[in-house]
Amino acid sequence: MNKGLLVVSFGTSVSETRKKTIEAIEAELAAAFPERRTYRAWTSGIIRKKLLRTENLAIDSVEEALERMLADGITDLLVQPTHMLPGAEFAKAEAALREYAPRFDSVSLGKPLLSDEADVRRMAGILEDTFYYVPPAELLALMGHGSETAEHNVYLMLNEAFDKDGYRHFRVGTVEATPGFAPITEAAKERKPTRIHLLPFLVVAGDHALNDMAGEEADSWASRLRSRGYEVDCILRGLGEYPKVRAAYVEHAKRAEALR
């Protein structure tokens, strides 16, 4: 078998969500490309070191995985990132791939989950279909990470898509960068919801979801909203747990392979 599939993720130190998200995405990608041998790489060196220390689990960097594939005789390479955006972490993987590309006969790179307007529209539809039960009197507040290097602000685009679809009670904000927490507080002030559902707009429900969103500390989103008198419900599910999101990654990989 000289065909390989490399699934590149940021990574997570929370083993429970890793199994439900990253490993679930990897499994569906492997099933979609049975003729390819599947490999894994994570871009976060900090998380890789932590897992090696705490779980004795060794996970390759992108460079290590590419070296492993070359040693195994892989010549036809397909890479699919599980990153959400074409931001800094994806850029690291892309740079490594450019360096190694001349050593493979064929290289294809799939796009991150939200790489263009069509991706954002599809994500809006997935969220609207999944959380159809949240009534207009309540608020679905999604916590994204945020990126200073993304080519487009998908968070603002997603809020615009919600508006167009008549889901003004769905809002996404970010831990970092723009738009921050403002879309959530503004929507809460305007709509005065009877309940706010907090959901991680992240592939994995890891540290950001557990601490920045749902944590007991005073600066978590849940605590800040409760201090303002809102009833808050935290949904600790990463986007990778939803079948339609996993299917989107598979579609991106198939599209990349077809463009060779």
Q: Which residues contact 147 (CB under 8 A, 6 or more apart)?
A: 85, 87, 88, 176, 177
CA distance 110 to 259: 10
Active-site residue, from 145, 197, 208, 252 = 145
**Cα separations (Å) of 201 from 12, 35, 194?**
15, 32, 22
Closest by Cα among 210, 144, 199 to 177 = 144
Tokens 């159809």 -> residue:
132
- Asked if the peptide bond before residue 179 counts as cis, ω within 30 degrees of 0, the response is yes
- Residue 169 a catalytic site member: no
Catalytic residues: 145
